[in-house]
Structure 1
Amino acid sequence: MKKRLSTILAVMFMAVILIPFTPVQAASTDVTGKMAGNREIKNISKMMTAYTTAMNLSEQSTTRPVKMKLNDNAKLSIAVFVRYNYKGDYSYTAKELRSETKKLFGKSASVNTIRNKKNKNHAMLVCSSNSKFYKDPYMYCGGDFGDTIPDYKITKVTRTGKNIYTVTTQNRLGCYGEKGRTNIGTTTLKLKKTAAGYVVKGVRYQYNGK
C-alpha cells in the first residue's frame, strides 16, 4: 500500500519548500492543557496531519523539515483529500471546491488551475472528471491509505498572538487488524481563530524516516 500511495503522491512533493525550522520569535503562551481538547482544533489537526502523513509516504519524501507553500494548487489538493478521506466524496462542483478551501484556509482557491486534457498539472490531487461517469466537473485523482490507518496526537498548543495558535502533532500510522501505532514524524500547524472557526495559515512537517 505504501508503494501505491507513494507512486500517486510522488509529484505532490513539488508543492512544498524545504527550509530549516526556526523558533517562534513573538511572545507565546503554552495553552496545551486548555486547547488540546478543543473539538475544532482536534478535527482540523486530524485532517491536516493525515495529509502530511500521505506526503511523508510519497517516494520523494525527506527527513528534512518541510514548509508547505499554500498556493491554490495545494489548497485544492488538500480540500479534495479531506473530502475523499473523511466525507467519502469523490466528485465536486467548482462551488463545492471554493467552499471547502474557504472553510479550511479562510479564503477560496481558484479552480482555474485544475488540470484537464490541455492543462496536465499532475502536481494536484484534483482533475477534470469524465462526463461519462461523473456529473460533476471535477474529481479526486489521488490514492487512499488502503489497509493503513493515519492517526495523530496533539502534543502542544501555543498561543502566539491574538487568535493565532501553533499546534504541534505527532504523525502516527497503524494497520487494520494490528495493535499499536508507529510515530513517523511531526506536523506543526499555524491556525487562526475566525468568526467561522479555525483556519489553516501555515503547515510545516518533518518525517523521521520510519
Structure 2
Amino acid sequence: MTELARPAAKRLQRPSWRDSRLVVGILLVLLSATLGAKAVASADDRTPVYVAADDLVAGDRVTASSFTRVDVRLGEGVVAYLPADAPAPEGSYLLRDVRAGELVPRSAVGAPDAVRVQRVTVRSDTGSTAGLVRGSRVDVYVTPKTGSGLDDADPVTRKLLAGAAVAAVQTRGGSLGGTATTSVQVYVPAGKVQALVEAVDAEAKVTLVPVPGTATDGAS
C-alpha cells in the first residue's frame, strides 16, 4: 500500500526590516505616540501667572514673598496679568490695591516714580481704629485743636481724605489708666501729605472712619 506524501513543515523566519507589515506597524506606533503627546499638550494649555500672597496696598514695595504662582487657563485674557515665568519684579511698587488670592494685573505694578501716595503716621483713639487692619480703607477727619492756629476762625471737623488705604496698625496701651492710642500708617496722596502732617503737628484730633465694605479684623 502506497503511503500518502506528507507536506513539509515550513520553518518560522524572523521578520525582516524589509517586511512591509513590520514597517507599517512601527509607523502606526510612532504616529499614535505623537498624536497622544499633542493631545495632552493641547489639553493642558494653562499659563503661569502671579497672584497676591496677601492683601497688597497701593504704595507697597514688591518683595519675593508678595506673590505666589498659579497656573490658569484664560486664553487671550492672560496677557492682562503678570506672568510667572520669570522672577517677581522685586523693587517695583504696587500702584493699586490687590486682595489676597487675586490675579495681579500688569497695570498694578510699576516703577517707584509711578507711585502717587506716601506713608504718613497718625494717632487716634482705639474707638476710632477698632477693627482696622492692613488694607482697610478709611475716611480721615481732622478736628483742629483750639488755639493751634490751624483753623481758629472756624474750628470745625472736616474730611481731609476719602478712602485712604491703611498700611499698618499698632496699638499701645495708655499709661496709668490713660486712654489707649493707636498709631496708623496711612497711604496719603502726594497732594494731601502736607495738610495732614500740619494737622498732626498741630495736635489736631484725627478720626478714622472705615469706608463701608472695607476689610476689617475678622472680615474681608
What is the TM-score of this pair, normalised by structure 1?
0.20
- Structure of greater relative contact order (alpha carbons < 8 Å, 6+ residues apart): 1
Indicate the structure (1 or 2) with the bigger Cα radius of gyration.
Answer: 2
What is the TM-score of this pair, normalised by structure 2?
0.19
Q: Which has the higher helix share?
A: 1
